[in-house]
Structure 1
Amino acid sequence: MFSEWGISIPIIVIALFFLGFIIMLNGRRIMKLVLNSIVGIISLLLYNMLLSGITGIYIGINLVTVLVVTIFGIPGFILLIVLNLIL
């Protein structure tokens, strides 16, 4: 089993990587990432409200799922559904 530090250190490193990535971007790209995040959250909410009862697959809305949908878009959303089917 992972200890508390074994889980939190990789999360902190990933968070710092994304923070540095966002700082290096210009304003237009930051706005695009924010817009993609909002669209990703809305798509996850709509999926959970409308289709999770039919498909039986619920996708939790957290930092990881929002980042996947933000960075990868629709393929990321499909990836989350496939991963929920597999796992």
Structure 2
Amino acid sequence: MSETRRDGRRFVLVLYALIVGLTGVLGFVLGEVIDLGAPPRLFFLLPLPPTGPGFALYGMVTVAVALGVPLGLVVYLSDRLDAETA
């Protein structure tokens, strides 16, 4: 694997972590400042408390899965296509 490719993967992972972390911070702030009413339900199954930490966890897990699954598929397909062409 070339150095440029590693740098690109590291950049994407850092960006992914920053986005998930920012989502947690914003969820915490909104959950503490605004009365959002009904408690969030993680994947429509697991009820979370309608507090700052509950909304932070909900936002972080939701964004992590929504971004992580397509990102994982891209990495998998990229590696598979590179192996076929090499």
TM-score (norm. length: structure 2): 0.41
Q: Which is strand-richer, 1 or 2?
A: 2
Highest CA radius of gyration, 1 or 2?
2
Q: Which is helix-richer, 1 or 2?
A: 1
